Chain A
């Protein structure tokens, strides 16, 4: 027998590929697939329940009138002041967080050396900030913005310790607290979009005689603007649903008026959900009101989330074409 024949004669004693149904693989695939389906099902059940129960209570009158005399009155109470309050606080927050977040991302992508100490410390701080619990931001906002910055402003502006204009919970402090909370989100998404821009664009701009700063602000940032927009939208959507950071920094249980100045308190949509579900004198009676409020909040945050997903997908497509 030749060597070649010998090899073909002896059958392999063990086969890697099982001939019959492989139970281990079957069960494993089934279990993980089931987990995926279950998560999607949970999401659908939550959304379905809220839409189904909330839709009947949603009307133009509901979103366009104030709380009337009784905020638990199913027939008359509206949520306009809460919508205004939440919108105002997220817009203010955007003004605070976007410049700082974008500039930090510019430093990290365009200037910093990849493994220098400052880069690593900044990145570590950003990651850590992203994991700080929202209630800790609330404590921080109360201790730093309200007690320290606000009180400091009062005594500096008037010189009188008894004056208390800025040194109390207010919409500006709530927004500032939320800005600190969403800073990592804006930094990370902006960084991602800056990195996606082909190096060739920067090189071409520099070769034409533009300075580095001109290149960044005229070439890189405009190209990255959809990414920055995505980050901003995600930050707004995250902030709009947060309650814990604004509990002690500006949200009010009830206010007769809308906030007019930066140092006013405000009523808030997400906080209102909390109030309606825990403080209601009769939960069964106010249930339609509660569901409609939750649906409004959810529509707001989800619309923003879905918009972010689409902008991001669009930008990825465009970047692929540029490469």
Chain B
């Protein structure tokens, strides 16, 4: 688009143009920074440097004077300054209390486990009090359990429902609006459907929580009022505008000559749309569904409000579910900065970012191919 001048730019202009170029790199910089700064907080867990094991070396009360103040401070969990301000009696009392605490906690064999190891993040483990190995996400319990499988299943369940609801509706509407509708209908229907994307996700979540949950429970009669199904349907509403506008775009970009040729051969409008235009636009439709998936799995407010947030492993869509996004939103505020819990929340954030990054990349490549193909044939 840019015109190229035959001479060199004036010095001031040259500087301004370099500046424009540098600023235009900010989008790249941001993607890069997102990756770095989310990864940075999660790195200690990824590298296995965190230790949540509760078993410590026991320092007998009698050894108090032999150990250095710093070591004792660490042992008692107080800062050096606090420690030096205490008198001897307080220290002794603290030591005794600590000893009692260690004695009682070491009874549980799970206390020795470093729960941030990959083995415990991904695979089932038989925790004390459970009958068989299980996937457990329980970051607030005495033994912090960080198995991410329940969260992944929760996310997938809600996303699946969202796609099952949203994709057929959005694709149907895209075919109708782009191929079958009269121009007047098209001009009204398109902006109205796209207006759906103007509803904030917190409002969709509110609607699912206050209105849909009760109505659906009456219709289907399931047990938990908030579950993956309610959240998924509401999520479907937020997927519809995404899938619709991309699919509609792809269908419209198919050259008119395809349609005209089909109509000239005597095909009905529907047959032309279904058998000629749609197959030509399949990559675009695929990209639309992929981006819809990315939108659904990354959506936060709808699921945190409507999915019930119980981290259980169950494939039933009528059970309560806790998704990755809702877990981050609900727990990061309470997690202590730098703790294992904090880092694992960033870790699942990295996971989410990676999944959507790949989805976008694939959708982008497919769309690019389709565009090049369509423009070549026009």
Please report A residues at the B interface, Cβ cutoff 8 Å.
15-17, 22, 24-26, 28-29, 31-36, 38-40, 42-43, 46, 49-50, 99-100, 103-104, 106-114, 118, 121-122, 124-140, 142-144, 147-148, 180, 183-184, 187, 194-195, 199, 202-203, 206, 211-213, 237, 240-244, 247-248, 270-271, 273-274, 277-278, 283, 287, 290, 294, 297-298, 301-302, 305-306, 309
Contact B210 A290 (CB under 8 A): yes
Q: List 26 A-B contacts (CB under 8 A).
A: A16-B266, A24-B270, A31-B172, A32-B180, A35-B170, A35-B172, A35-B173, A36-B173, A36-B181, A46-B237, A110-B1, A121-B28, A122-B28, A136-B34, A139-B332, A139-B349, A142-B332, A143-B41, A202-B3, A203-B3, A211-B13, A241-B201, A243-B301, A270-B200, A274-B301, A297-B203
Known: A135-B329, A144-B37, A247-B333. A100 touches B23 (CB 8 A): yes
Hey, which chain B residues are within 8 Å of A202, CB to CB? 3
Which chain B residue lies CB-closest to A283? B210
Hey, which chain A residues are within 8 Å of B207, CB to CB? 46, 49-50
B30 within 8 A of A: yes
Hey, which chain B residues are within 8 Å of A129, CB to CB? 27, 30-31
B360 within 8 A of A: yes
Contact B25 A122 (CB under 8 A): yes
Contact A211 B10 (CB under 8 A): yes
Hey, which chain A residues are within 8 Å of B5, CB to CB? 206, 212
Q: How far is the CB of B41 from chain A (nearest CB, A)?
A: 5
Interface of chain B residues 267 through 321 with chain A (CB within 8 A): 267-271, 273-274, 291, 294-295, 297-301, 304-305
Known: A46-B199, A132-B353, A139-B328. A103 touches B20 (CB 8 A): yes
Q: How far is the CB of B70 from chain A (nearest CB, A)?
A: 20
Hey, which chain A residues are within 8 Å of B200, CB to CB? 240-243, 270, 297-298, 301
Contact B356 A139 (CB under 8 A): no
Interface of chain B residues 3 through 37 with chain A (CB within 8 A): 3, 5, 9-10, 13, 16-17, 20-21, 23-28, 30-31, 33-34, 37
Q: How far is the CB of B86 from chain A (nearest CB, A)?
A: 22
Contact A125 B28 (CB under 8 A): yes
Contact A50 B37 (CB under 8 A): no
Q: How far is the CB of A114 from chain B (nearest CB, A)?
A: 8
Alpha-carbon distance A131/B17, docked complex (angstroms)? 29
B359 within 8 A of A: yes
Q: How far is the CB of B197 from chain A (nearest CB, A)?
A: 9
Contact A305 B198 (CB under 8 A): yes
Contact B271 A25 (CB under 8 A): yes
Which chain A residue lies CB-closest to B41? A143
Which chain A residue lies CB-closest to B274? A28
Q: How far is the CB of B328 from chain A (nearest CB, A)?
A: 5
* Of the residues A17, A126, A206, contact of B3 by C-beta under 8 Å: A206
Hey, which chain A residues are within 8 Å of B216, CB to CB? none
Which chain A residue lies CB-closest to B187? A313
Alpha-carbon distance A38/B267, docked complex (angstroms)? 27
- Total A-B pairs, Cβ < 8 A: 288
Contact B176 A35 (CB under 8 A): yes
Contact A29 B360 (CB under 8 A): no
Q: How far is the CB of A201 from chain B (nearest CB, A)?
A: 11
B2 within 8 A of A: yes
Which chain B residue lies CB-closest to A102? B23
Alpha-carbon distance A143/B196, docked complex (angstroms)? 32
Q: How far is the CB of A274 from chain B (nearest CB, A)?
A: 5
Known: A29-B180, A33-B176, A139-B346. A111 touches B20 (CB 8 A): yes
Alpha-carbon distance A42/B30, docked complex (angstroms)? 36
Alpha-carbon distance A203/B205, docked complex (angstroms)? 51
Known: A132-B356, A309-B191. A183 touches B180 (CB 8 A): no
* Of the residues A15, A32, A139, A195, contact of B173 by C-beta under 8 Å: A32
B352 within 8 A of A: yes
Contact B172 A34 (CB under 8 A): yes
Known: A103-B24, A127-B364, A270-B200. A112 touches B2 (CB 8 A): yes
